[in-house]
């Protein structure tokens, strides 16, 4: 049985190894100490605290309550970006966030079979979920200039290295005694998928989007996740398509489109050219 800390250590260690190996084939970038200290703080906000709070919250909340609480992330990101990056909160942006929020909530309240998580929600679980959204919002809003400064691989190899160095000492006794030899092959494949695709590939792509899009729009794509999960469930036969799901999907994508049309959602380089 993997604890939340075990899973995070596996993700951080596996992704750190993959990013550092990939960096051997990339142009070398020198990162000064001042920036390394900033990347350390970024790794704590964007990786360690974000992932640990989420993984722990899963065990303390029902899936529906967790999903509802997670809808706060784009809203918090919008306000953090307005304060830190002076990104204006336009009517289009605020309206788009609310339209997508309505779609996600409509999907959640009309969905069935939300298995997993706790049998009932504990207050601490909600607090951790809100902390998860807030720390990720801070990461998106504060460190965008730093992310744009470096190659994706350079930035992420340090991010995961710092997270790994913090996490492993805290969980060394459990992590280094994980019974991998006794685990079913299905579990090992699931862990491998989480490390390679849900961590390495996902965090390779997130900074790419952060360099080109405003923080609010980046966080808006969190609203697409339950839509994709629903579509996959339908494809593999675990769910079925209804008019309610179609309405929810339409609202989510409409909201993302509206935010994308906002002038504040344009890439920074385009704004500077104007």
DSSP structural state of residue 177: T
The yes-or-no verdict on residue 109 having pLDDT over 60 is yes
Q: How many domains does the chain have?
A: 1
DSSP string of 65-126?
A: HHHHHHTTHHHHHHHHHHHHS-----HHHHHHHHHHHHHHHHHHHT------B-SS--HHHH
Span 79-108, mean pLDDT? 89
pLDDT band at 120 (very low <50, low <70, confident <90, very high): confident
Ranges 38-42, 246-250, 251-255, most confident? 38-42
Do the domain assignments include residue 203? yes
pLDDT at 113: 47
> Which of 72, 67, 54 is CA-nearest to residue 113?
67
Do the domain assignments include residue 266? no
Do the domain assignments include residue 237? no
Do the domain assignments include residue 125? yes
pLDDT band at 217 (very low <50, low <70, confident <90, very high): confident
Do the domain assignments include residue 271? no
Do the domain assignments include residue 252? no
The yes-or-no verdict on residue 139 having pLDDT over 80 is yes
Contact 146, 38 (CB under 8 A): yes
- The 10s digit of each residue's pLDDT in 11-45 is 999 999 999 999 999 999 999 999 999 999 999 99
Do the domain assignments include residue 77? yes
- The 10s digit of each residue's pLDDT in 222-238 is 888 778 877 887 888 87
Helix (H) or strand (E) holding 161, with range, is helix 152-175
Write the CA distances from 175 to 2, 95, 227, integer angstroms.
9, 45, 34
Rounded to whole angstroms, the Cα distance separating 127 from 56 reads 11
The yes-or-no verdict on residue 273 having pLDDT over 70 is no
Query: What residues make up the domain containing 129?
Result: 4-88+116-220
Handedness of CA 215, 254, 99, 103 (dihedral sign): negative
Rounded to whole angstroms, the Cα distance separating 132 from 34 reads 26
Q: What angle do CA 87, 103, 51 make, to 5 degrees?
A: 65
pTM over 0.85: no
Rounded to whole angstroms, the Cα distance separating 193 from 191 reads 5
Rounded to whole angstroms, the Cα distance separating 211 from 95 reads 24
pLDDT at 88: 87
Q: Count Cβ atoms below 10 Å from residue 94 Cβ, excluding itself.
A: 16
More confident call, 29 vs 87 = 29
Do the domain assignments include residue 107? no
pLDDT at 116: 53
The yes-or-no verdict on residue 114 having pLDDT over 60 is no
**What is the residue-averaged pLDDT of the chain?**
87
Helices (H) and strands (E) in the chain, counts: 15, 0
């Amino acid at each position: 049985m993997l604890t939340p800390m075990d899973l995070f250590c596996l993700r951080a260690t596996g992704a750190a190894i993959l990013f550092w190996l990939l960096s051997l084939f990339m142009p070398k970038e020198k990162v000064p100490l001042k920036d390394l200290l900033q990347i350390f703080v970024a790794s704590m906000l964007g990786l360690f605290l974000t992932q640990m709070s989420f993984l722990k919250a899963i065990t303390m909340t029902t899936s529906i309550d967790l999903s509802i609480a997670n809808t706060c992330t784009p809203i918090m990101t919008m306000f953090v970006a307005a304060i830190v990056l002076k990104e204006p909160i336009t009517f289009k942006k605020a309206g788009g966030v609310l339209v997508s929020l309505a779609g996600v909530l409509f999907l959640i309240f009309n969905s069935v079979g939300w298995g997993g998580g706790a049998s009932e929600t504990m207050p601490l679980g909600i607090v951790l979920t809100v902390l998860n959204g807030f720390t990720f919002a801070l990461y998106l809003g504060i460190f965008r200039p730093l992310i744009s400064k470096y190659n994706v691989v350079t930035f992420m190899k340090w991010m995961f290295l710092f997270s790994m160095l913090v996490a492993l000492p805290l969980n060394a006794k459990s992590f280094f005694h994980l019974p991998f030899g006794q685990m079913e092959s299905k579990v090992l494949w699931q862990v491998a998928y989480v490390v390679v695709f849900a961590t390495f590939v996902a965090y390779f792509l997130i900074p790419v989007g952060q360099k080109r899009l405003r923080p609010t729009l980046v966080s808006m794509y969190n609203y697409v996740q339950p839509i994709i999960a629903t579509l996959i469930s339908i494809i593999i036969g675990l769910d079925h398509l209804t008019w309610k799901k179609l309405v929810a999907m339409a609202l989510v994508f409409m909201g993302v489109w509206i935010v994308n049309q906002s002038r504040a959602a344009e890439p920074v380089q385009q704004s500077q050219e104007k």
